[in-house]
């Protein structure tokens, strides 16, 4: 009797993302080159998605199919394509997740897990899946992770580059250009901010004047990206609504921002829910100097962490040939 052929493992990677970018709360995000999360997937006979193991999380993340963003996202994709467990054409996939991103960092950690899982599972199951379906499925993972199906991390994690979410129902994502000379000093302090906690401190209402200023800055930001005007871009990356509400959650942030701006940063603000903080520059050497300043400031505040200089990068992708 011939032994059954082992089904191949497919490996995929999804990058870290920076979201909000100042005035673009829940509607702007960008992918960076690295680090990111990696997921391996292979077809199995049992319908649905199963997560076999997680590494790199210190044992903190759940394996349950209804609790982990990777499984939730893949299940949502299968159901959207008519291959869910209760359908007439069910498919099954097993997953292994390796966390390359810290939890609660403001770098789209939960979204990266979901996006890597979707890309790996789609290839393992030989499915042709459009980007809108992938993003909407990844949003379901975000709903489990933080209670809100926000797309500003998962959209750039899937598509790469800089994106504007123009609408969510139905989803409409607009790619934006990124200047080649734009560098980010990205620093993650040694503390954690849960996305749910960061959303809980946001104001329930803002003044008309604040809304107008925020809208004007968002328009200026889009214009600056299209023209490649980094000075205008730095002027646009200003947030008078969300950043002030969250700043107290991140020890040392206010001083870090002041120090970075005094050292010549185009702008400095919080990535997503934080605590990751980024400073922008049009010069790579200055970006490295800004990274040192962020490190010194957060270390002095008692939350030393890690950082790197980044540029805008590509989205999630298969990174392996079939592995048995």
Is 56 labelled as part of a ligand binding site? no
Is 219 labelled as part of a ligand binding site? no
Is 141 labelled as part of a ligand binding site? no
Is 105 labelled as part of a ligand binding site? yes
Is 189 labelled as part of a ligand binding site? no
Is 190 labelled as part of a ligand binding site? no
Is 110 labelled as part of a ligand binding site? yes
Give the number of other CB atoms < 10 A from CB of residue 218: 19
How many angstroms separate the CA atoms of 2 and 104, rounded? Answer: 48
Print the SS3 string covering the chain.
Answer: CCCCCCCCEEEEEEEEEEECCCCCCCCEEEEEEEEEEEEEEEEECCCEEEEEEEECCCCCCCCCCCCCHHHHHHHHHHHHCCCCCCCCCCCEEEEEEECCCCCCCCCCHHHHHHHHHHHHHHHHCCCCCCHHHHHHHHHHHHHHHHCCCCCCCHHHHHHCCEEEEEEECCEEEEEECCCCCCEEEEEECCCCCCHHHHHHCCCCCCCHHHHHHHHHHHHHHHHHHHHCCHHHHHHHCCCCCHHHHHHHHCCCHHHHHHHHHHCCCCEEEECCCCCCEEEEECCHHHHHHHHHHHHHHHHHCCCCCEEEEECECCCCEECCCCEC
Beta bridge partners of 29: 19, 163
Is 264 labelled as part of a ligand binding site? no
Annotated binding site for ATP: 102-112
Annotated binding site: 102-112
């Amino acid at each position: 009797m011939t032994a059954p052929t082992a089904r191949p493992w497919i490996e995929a990677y999804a990058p870290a993302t920076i979201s909000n970018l100042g005035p673009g709360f829940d509607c702007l995000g960008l992918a960076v080159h690295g680090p990111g999360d990696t997921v391996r997937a292979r077809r199995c006979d049992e319908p649905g998605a199963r997560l076999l193991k997680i590494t790199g999380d210190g044992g903190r993340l759940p394996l349950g199919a209804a609790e982990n963003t990777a499984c939730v996202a893949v299940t949502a994709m299968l159901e959207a394509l008519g291959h869910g467990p209760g359908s007439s054409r069910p498919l099954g996939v097993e997953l292994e997740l390796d966390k390359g991103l810290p939890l609660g960092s403001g770098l789209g950690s939960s979204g990266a897990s979901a996006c890597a899982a979707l890309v790996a599972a789609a290839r393992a199951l030989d499915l042709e899946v459009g980007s809108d379906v992938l993003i909407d499925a990844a949003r379901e993972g975000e709903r489990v992770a933080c209670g809100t199906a926000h797309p500003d991390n998962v959209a750039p994690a899937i598509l790469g580059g800089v994106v504007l979410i123009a609408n969510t129902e139905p989803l409409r994502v607009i790619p934006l250009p990124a200047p080649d000379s734009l560098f980010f000093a990205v620093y993650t302090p040694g503390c954690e901010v849960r996305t749910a906690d960061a959303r809980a401190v946001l104001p329930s209402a803002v003044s008309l004047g604040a809304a107008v200023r925020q809208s004007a800055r968002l328009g200026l930001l889009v214009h600056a990206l299209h023209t490649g005007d980094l000075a205008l871009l730095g002027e646009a990356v200003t947030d008078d609504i969300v950043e002030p509400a969250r700043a107290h959650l991140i020890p040392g942030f206010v001083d870090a921002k002041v120090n970075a701006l005094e050292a010549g940063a185009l702008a400095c603000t919080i990535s997503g829910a934080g605590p990751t903080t980024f400073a922008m520059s049009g010069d790579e050497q200055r970006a490295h100097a800004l990274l040192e300043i962020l490190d010194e400031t957060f270390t002095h505040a008692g939350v030393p962490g890690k950082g790197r200089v980044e540029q805008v990068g590509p989205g999630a992708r298969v990174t392996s040939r079939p592995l048995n």
